Structure 1
Amino acid sequence: MSNGLQSPTRKPRDLRLDLLLNRIGAEPSLHSQTIQLDAKESFVAAATAIPKLRRLPALDIWSENDGLFAFLFGRADEHLLVAWREDPQIPDAIWAVRTDAQKLIQTDLFGNSTELPLIDGVALVTLSAPHYYDFVGSKSAPEQLGPLVRLPQTVSPDADGIASLELKLQNPLQRTVTVTATAQVKASANSPQTITRNIATGETGIFPLRFNVGQGALGEIVTVDAALSFKELAWAPSLQIPVVYNSIRTDTSTRIELNSLNQVLNKQDYDPHTLHLLWGSPADLSVRAKIHSSPASRLVKVTCQVTDNQHYAATAEEALLDGDALEIGWENQQGLRGHVAIAGDLGASPRNEFYLGTERMDSPLISAIQITREGKTTTWELTLDTRQMGLNESDFEQGIRFNFAVHDNDGEGPKSWMSPTPGLGGRSYFSSEHFYRLELGSAQD
């Protein structure tokens, strides 16, 4: 197969960069990225991509997980890296790469090129907007040394609107470097934060950053622009760090929409190459959810409207989450985890499995529920009793971590699930690190 770019067939504003990767010892596989471009931009981007991707065979996959994608193409004296960040909620990445290339040329989608500096045979590659990196005159394939910068996968403000993080920079050179980090919230009137560190060979410098970003709507993003300068060296990379508001506020009915590919996880061996086969559009599977905390009555109300072309509830012999199902997880201030899986049985008494910690519970967590189906829309309406969730007064004051997932099966086997943030997919995959923070409010007896 040849490497190539396909023109959009459904939406004229979508450009699909289809990288056909002929991996040694594996079947050819397809990865695609959708980028919003107008018609003229699409033609220019295609004119840039086609000659680059057709001339070189695929060599290696550097990354295809956690929203970062990088694919290496090449032959004996020429190598090309295609790299980008896909998830808007994670920070840009900067990698250190060792190469014997005579020069390194970075080209954007529209053919604009910049030569990047090589220091002691090491270059810095940024995974942000899509770029091509041409290793001109390289005799051997470039070697990824690892991240130059390590950041949390997601950054969110606390209840007071303060976003805190540590930018950790590892020195990839065989010499001590002096690095200055300058960071500022985009379009902010506040002065930028500037920190300088001397970092020995192989050591890591830590740059603590703290920003007052105030309050924002759930899922809203503000961007921190960070620039790095190396004293007496030509390196001057920059990166964007999104700060994602993740609080579900008790005084409003928070609405959440799930309708994009990066909110889908595949159940088929977690192979990202099959995602496009299982989820084609929001008409196949999408979710509109509302979450509301009622502290006076100690209830959490959840409503999900699920667009699903086929409805299938698990049989008695199947796991509940292998059919159409709703999964909810939470963790309180003391680290007590709760998890409930609810089968897509229509009516007011669906099967469910409720755990607190590792213990299966028989207590009535769900105080009310109704699942209905009209056309291709399944509506879930349920109320959770916070007393059965294992919550206490400090949880009402400080909030809890909270997440949900909608599971899909069209009758041909478990397909995938959609979730607003990572961390669910069955009790064995439970991780609350990226859950939303549910503000329960002050409980009133």
Structure 2
Amino acid sequence: MKKILILTGAFLTAVAQGIPVDLLHVEFNRTPIETHGFIGNPVEIRRSPDGWHLNFARIGRTESLPLPHSYWKRTRPEAVVFRARALQGRALIKLRMIDGDGHWFTTAGRWIEPDSDRIVFPLDGMKQGNGRCRLMSLQVDPEIPGTELLLKRIDVTFERSESEAIQIVPDTGAGMLPLFDGIPRFIIRNGTAREVRRNAKFTFTGLDGSTYELSRNVELPSYGEIRFTPENPPPHPGVWYGKPQTDTQRVMFANIPENGLSAPANPEFEFAVDNHWIDPAVIEGMRYLGIRAIRSIVGWERIQPTSGADWNFPVFDARLEALEKAGIKMRETLVFTPKWAATDNPKNLPFPRNRKPQMTAWENYVRAMFERYGNRVEYFEIWNEPDLTGFVDFPVEDYIGLCRTARRIAREINPSIKLASGGFATLHPALWNGAHCRFHEKVLQEAGDTFDIHSYHEHGYFPHYQRMVDQEFLPLRKRCGITQPWLASETAMHSAKGTDTEQADCLFKKLLFTWARGAFSYTWYGLCNNGYDLNYSEDNFGIFDRFMNPKYIFAVYAALIRDYREAVFLGQFQAENAPWLFAFRTSRRLLLANWSLNPSGGDIIYAARGNGSSAERIDLEGNSSRLPSHRGIALFPVGPLGSTFVFNDATQLDSVELVAELKLPAAIFRNSAASGELLLVNPWPQAMNCAITPQLPTGTQIIGLPVKKELPPGEHIKLPFQVVCENEINQLKITLAFDDMEAVPLTAPLHFTILASDTAFQERKPDFRLNSYAQLESNFEFDPATAATLWRGPEDLSAEIWIGRNGDRFELRADVRDDRHNPSPVPHQLWQGDSIQFALGFPGQNGHFELGAGLNSAGKPVSACWIVPQGFQIRKLAEALDVKSKRQGNLISYRISLPLSAMGVNAKQLSAGFRFNFLVNDNDNGKERKCFLRLAPGIGSSQTVKHSPTVSCR
């Protein structure tokens, strides 16, 4: 026992004190050279499996080599370790860095010599700043003409625990991306100056939660490495995440078959992506996925940067030629007014992208693009998101003029040139007082004949996207008589704060729904993340991260293309509980894309009637499992995540019917019996025996369910039971097997409830508090120029929230502490100023409520309603909302009351349990919201109550 304690104490001491550990910053062998280059001295750069080879033509200084993967580090490194070697001659290297306060720092020079491949740059001389820094560029001085260098890696040294000394990275070989078809390969590295001898273990997690564990005894010298190929592949094909390796980088790889571009394209539907740049890594990723079209904006300001006579066609030619060589179609957007072409620029902006262009300049630009590229580009989009003033800050009539001019020129040059409308951003009726909706409609009414393709964006999760398409976009097309084909040309959802699974699921649902609603293509935005911080939404829309590592969504897109590449859409099926069911046909099978209406629900079992020989289920990542099938009837689960039911050898699908469902109360309390019900329906024409097997964790029991039940044909059987849980668990799971066929899972979520008592709020503790960094969403957190505006703690912004029922009314009290009070500068955008927002979601309703309150410039309370479930009216909810507020110094107290009848619920339903979310907005500069604190994701962005806590008001 004493020996164990001594060893443990020694280990804890090492962890607490920390040792210098080098963590990967960039690997040059995985970095394309096309997007980076030297300024100054001519130098030949080529990439190989070893890294970048630099060959200098003559003596002289290279001022700067912009470094790839140059992201903000939250913790200042102690040193930078540069892995490089001189193959011919030698060179002096310096590093340029910047800290979070904007101070620049250049390291002392170090020589790259032929006999050493590791150079250490201490960072003791850097100012402390705010604890963050960024590695920006290299300065290289070759000593003699013909100097040749090999750049391998850049690592940064931090104080980390000894357990982090061993690092593992995918071995990409000659490729740039960690994509494997079979057993993956790895490199194991010692990131310290010490020799390491021990067992190294690594764990990777898949989208479905399964794990892939690797173990290897290693003996590594200082900074040594070995290549390692495991004996076994991961449990199934997919994308796998290792534990975070630095503040922003994760070890990730894909283990899926390559789709490639050799198979014929789907003639009915195009799978596409958007990306801001094109390089070999981007093309390699698209080819592996099987994507044949990309929206990649070069922009007017780069084609004619300084004047009407300054044509920079090579910037477009290089991009287009690289795509054509790979067999990928390019979609270009004619957008972004150069400074010289703007009709007015009152703020003298260096890039007045959204200003109205001079018509002559516009005509010359459009004509040149059509003449040079008209028969090579799939289509030209006329501006980007013209319904937003950030892109078009001029009247709609002038935008229509741009469209008419482009149409006229296209007809003159080549009538086969395809034009698309500007990709309209959104049709959300509650934003900007509806100005964007009126803009969109006027363009369709007065310039609908100027485009061949109707282009639409609408970011967000599927429920929002579906509402906008079905309730706004398609009715608008019909109202304006638009018959041209449409596409989703830029729509996605981010994966910030660990929502990678939700992002992957979002792609599956939005793409197939778009197809089912008649579009000819879906374009995910984008192929690669735009930045490095995993907590900032704008950095995390990509299929790859910014290091070109595949995210979970990569496997989903690959599976969609692989499984639906030959598909033709048949129609939408209806069934009890209204799941989403979209049927497709290939030459060999019928596909039924499916997911439940309730994003927070469980798996419900359905029966498909048709003439298939066998059935299977394909999950999000494309992995197949066998399903029970008997006499033309197959059973399959429908859950909150998307999946595909497959009927092999089927030529028809007649109907989809409910077979089994678990029903549980909306509110569950620990150690209290909750009443549930198992609904069973026998879809076969003869009696069947159903085996019922609960899958229960320790501390959970089900009382009253039989282990087997004989079911007459066609009858609905309801089996009551009780469930008691000692511990909080996510879901209740039961498997059902009909007459010894394969078992099918049936699940239901368990919502353990926060109990809110009476409305004597001043006499009890708050139900919720907002006062921590983990609850923060900030606009400026990752911009060093606005570091002074960062949230500084509870005195800057915090809130205490109470909720309860008073008779037939729902009541809420929120005490908000805010050091500066600024109302919204835009009256119809309450959320841009200091304000509160809250969401309510009730079982049985299609959608949820989102409402808000604040103070106007006169200090009077104002309110708003943005979202209501289907069947409710925003205006009526806004009228029913009663808001009182009182401000004393830095404290604002809100008291909100809302009739239960206005929300279609009663006291019993409030007691049974509902979803609740809340946020508080902060505006410190009087111009815009800087940040907000929220209880759970799904409010403030990506609107949903899926993640909201369940509350009971009794």
The reply to whether TM is greater than 0.5 is yes
* Alignment partner, residue 126 of structure 1: 637
Alignment of 1:166-177 (within 5 A): 166-177=677-688
Distance 2:704 2:543 in 1: 33
Name the aligned partner's letter for residue 349 of structure 1: K
Distance 1:341 1:42 in 2: 32
Matched, 1:19 2:511: yes
Distance 2:584 2:914 in 1: 42
* Alignment partner, residue 202 of structure 1: 714
Deviation at 1:169, TM superposition (A): 1.0
8 Å Cα contact 2:516/2:569 also seen in 1: no
SS in 2 for 1:19: helix
Distance 1:304 1:67 in 2: 41
8 Å Cα contact 2:836/2:854 also seen in 1: yes
SS in 2 for 1:172: coil
Name the aligned partner's letter for residue 165 of structure 1: G
Name the aligned partner's letter for residue 743 of structure 2: A
Give the direction of change, closer, same or farther, for the CA distance of 1:421–1:19 in structure 2 (3 Å limit). closer
Describe the superposition over 1:24-44 as per-residue Cα deviations: whole angstroms up to 9, x where unpaired. 885568699x99998375555
Give the direction of change, closer, same or farther, for the CA distance of 1:205–1:192 in structure 2 (3 Å limit). same
Alignment of 1:20-419 (within 5 A): 20-21=512-513, 26-27=518-519, 39=550, 43-62=554-573, 68-75=579-586, 78-85=589-596, 89-128=600-639, 129-140=641-652, 142-152=653-663, 155-157=666-668, 161-188=672-699, 190=701, 194-195=705-706, 196-213=708-725, 222-230=730-738, 232-250=739-757, 252-255=765-768, 290-292=800-802, 301-302=813-814, 312-314=826-828, 344-346=854-856, 348-351=859-862, 368-369=885-886, 381-383=893-895, 418=943
SS in 2 for 1:50: helix
Deviation at 1:254, TM superposition (A): 3.2
Name the aligned partner's letter for residue 200 of structure 1: P
Deviation at 1:79, TM superposition (A): 1.5
8 Å Cα contact 2:802/2:813 also seen in 1: yes
Task: Give the TM-score, by structure 2 length.
Answer: 0.30
Describe the superposition over 1:70-122 as per-residue Cα deviations: whole angstroms up to 9, x where unpaired. 32211565311223458563121211100101222323344432332311211
Matched, 1:436 2:951: yes
Give the direction of change, closer, same or farther, for the CA distance of 1:26–1:130 in structure 2 (3 Å limit). closer
Of structures 1 and 2, the one scoring higher in RCO (CA 8 A, sep 6+) is: 1
Give the direction of change, closer, same or farther, for the CA distance of 1:160–1:30 in structure 2 (3 Å limit). farther
Describe the superposition over 1:233-273 as per-residue Cα deviations: whole angstroms up to 9, x where unpaired. 4142112211112334456533389xxxxxxxxxxxxxxxx
Distance 2:716 2:513 in 1: 35
Distance 1:352 1:21 in 2: 34
Larger Rg: 2
SS in 2 for 1:52: helix
8 Å Cα contact 2:682/2:715 also seen in 1: yes
8 Å Cα contact 2:665/2:675 also seen in 1: no
8 Å Cα contact 1:155/1:165 also seen in 2: no
* Alignment partner, residue 934 of structure 2: none
How many residues of Structure 1 are paired with residues of Structure 2 in the alignment?
Answer: 357
8 Å Cα contact 1:45/1:110 also seen in 2: yes
SS in 2 for 1:244: coil
Deviation at 1:148, TM superposition (A): 0.9
Distance 2:635 2:621 in 1: 21
Name the aligned partner's letter for residue 673 of structure 2: I
Describe the superposition over 1:205-239 as per-residue Cα deviations: whole angstroms up to 9, x where unpaired. 112121122586xxxx5311111122x34142112
Give the direction of change, closer, same or farther, for the CA distance of 1:69–1:371 in structure 2 (3 Å limit). farther
Distance 1:239 1:29 in 2: 34
Distance 2:618 2:703 in 1: 29
Name the aligned partner's letter for residue 70 of structure 1: L
* Alignment partner, residue 4 of structure 1: 271
Name the aligned partner's letter for residue 116 of structure 1: L
Give the direction of change, closer, same or farther, for the CA distance of 1:107–1:401 in structure 2 (3 Å limit). closer
> Quick check: which one's strand share is greater?
1
What percent of counterpart residues are identical? 17
State the superposition RMSD in angstroms.
Answer: 5.8
Distance 1:66 1:160 in 2: 30
Name the aligned partner's letter for residue 204 of structure 1: H
Task: Give the TM-score, by structure 1 length.
Answer: 0.59
Deviation at 1:63, TM superposition (A): 6.9
Unaligned runs of 5+ in 2: 1-267, 274-284, 286-491, 525-540, 758-763, 771-776, 780-797, 806-810, 819-823, 843-848, 865-876, 902-906, 920-939
> Quick check: which one's helix share is greater?
2
8 Å Cα contact 2:677/2:721 also seen in 1: yes
Give the direction of change, closer, same or farther, for the CA distance of 1:186–1:380 in structure 2 (3 Å limit). farther
8 Å Cα contact 1:21/1:58 also seen in 2: no
Distance 1:435 1:83 in 2: 26
